Structure 1
Amino acid sequence: MLVFWAEKLVFLAVPKTGTTAIEGALAPRASMVLRDPPQLKHSPVYRYRRFLQPLFAQGGGQPDMETFAIVRDPIDWLGSWYRYRMRDALIGHQNSTLGISFDDFVLEYSKGQSAPFAKVGSQAKFLTLGDKSIGVDHLFRYEAMPKAVAFLQDRLNLDEITLDRKNVSPQMALTLSKDVETRLRERCAEEFSVWEQGQT
């Protein structure tokens, strides 16, 4: 999470959406950087509104801080998690996806109460409020990163923001069978709905 106090902007870091690259580029410019623990770095909108927003309002009279986040196509997002959990550092760990097909990973994720290797959270839960409405003021699709960067350049009055590739998942070709994709879209429809509301 990055807080830009003078500009009244808070960046909420949805995991696996390029957040580490954005943090790397903008942390020196931010008033506050929450890196650890992960529960704070990746505070979802409901946690931000319950705990941090009141703190910011009391701390400096900034009740109208706006929020900004990135959302990624759910299949691509799951693919990134799948590849990330296949790395050598997780071999033998219950979170490892080594030896598990992408289809089986997605099927397990779509159960809701999934096995540890497919327990990766939810972009929809991260970004929505109790009534299922989008809880951030500015939501951009990961696939439209140049537009998100242009927004940040304008809002932060920066000439240029260069994002380096950081925390990148191992590269590999992934395909999802039509049957599994259909099941994912049916059982996790909210994930797709939230992504579709991101700016393109």
Structure 2
Amino acid sequence: MLIFFKERLALLSLPKTGSTAYQVALRDRADIVVSGPPDLKHAPVRRYDRFFQNIFRKMYDTEMEIMAVVREPVDWLGSWYRYRTRTELTGHPHSTDGMSFDKFVQAYMQSPRPAFADVGSQTEFFRTRSNGAGASHIFRYEHQDEILDFLQGRLNARINLTRENVSPKRELILSDQTLDAFRKAHAAEFRLHQQAR
């Protein structure tokens, strides 16, 4: 999470949406950098609003606009699946090594989810509190040029991105049956992505 006080902007870090690259590029420019622990670095809108936004309201009588990036749902799960195939996770309950992507997505649709598929939800990340304003700027992950243009204009700064936290390459093959079931069970995830910029 990065907060730019003068520009009244909070860049929240939804996991597996390229947020680490922006954090590396902009940490020296931000007024507040939250790089850990993960529950704070990746604080969802509700948690940000409850703790961080409340500080700005009470101390400065102002609010930060919230910006975040959302990823196409199958691609987002694919990134999680590939990330969890890392050799350092072998033998860990979160490991997806040796597992097909189809099996991973099927497990994601279970309730409760097994540990390896328990990666949260993009719609849950953006859920607001009853009195919260929510995110003002939601960009699609695949629109990196628009994200850069927005941030460079808002911050009046040139941003040089580097690739960070890159997941291992793996085939992402889904059966038609699994894809159809996922689209039906998680239609809200697809709507969120479609409504983003």
Normalization by structure 1: what TM-score? 0.94
Contact 1:134 1:194 (8 Å CA) reproduced: no
The match for 2:188 is 190
The match for 1:64 is 63
SS at match of 2:159: coil
CA pair 62-88 structure 1, distance change in 2 beyond 3 A? farther
The match for 1:164 is 162
Normalization by structure 2: what TM-score? 0.95
Deviation, structure 1 residue 129: 2.3
Kindly indicate whether residue 138 of structure 2 is the aligned counterpart of residue 139 of structure 1: yes
Contact 2:17 2:71 (8 Å CA) reproduced: yes
The match for 1:89 is 88
Contact 2:101 2:172 (8 Å CA) reproduced: yes
CA pair 134-146 structure 1, distance change in 2 beyond 3 A? farther
- Partners of 1:95 and 1:72 lie apart in 2 by 21
1:94-133 residue pairs with structure 2 within 5 A?
A: 94-129=93-128
User: For 1:136-183, what per-residue CA distance to the aligned partner results, in whole angstroms no more than 9, with x for missing partners?
Assistant: 00000001011011000000001x212111001001232211110100
Contact 1:13 1:19 (8 Å CA) reproduced: yes
The match for 1:179 is 177
2:22 alignment partner AA: I
SS at match of 2:15: coil
- Partners of 1:100 and 1:20 lie apart in 2 by 26
- Partners of 1:167 and 1:112 lie apart in 2 by 29
Deviation, structure 1 residue 10: 0.2
- Partners of 2:55 and 2:14 lie apart in 1 by 21
Q: Aligned pair count?
A: 196
CA pair 110-161 structure 1, distance change in 2 beyond 3 A? same
The match for 1:80 is 79
Q: Give the share of equivalent positions with the same residue, in percent.
A: 47
RMSD: 1.5
SS at match of 1:143: coil
Contact 2:107 2:114 (8 Å CA) reproduced: yes
Which 5+ residue runs of structure 2 have no aligned equivalent?
none
The match for 1:44 is 44
Bigger shift: 121-130 or 98-107?
A: 121-130
1:195 alignment partner AA: H
SS at match of 1:78: helix
CA pair 85-69 structure 1, distance change in 2 beyond 3 A? same
- Partners of 1:10 and 1:62 lie apart in 2 by 16
Which 5+ residue runs of structure 1 have no aligned equivalent?
none
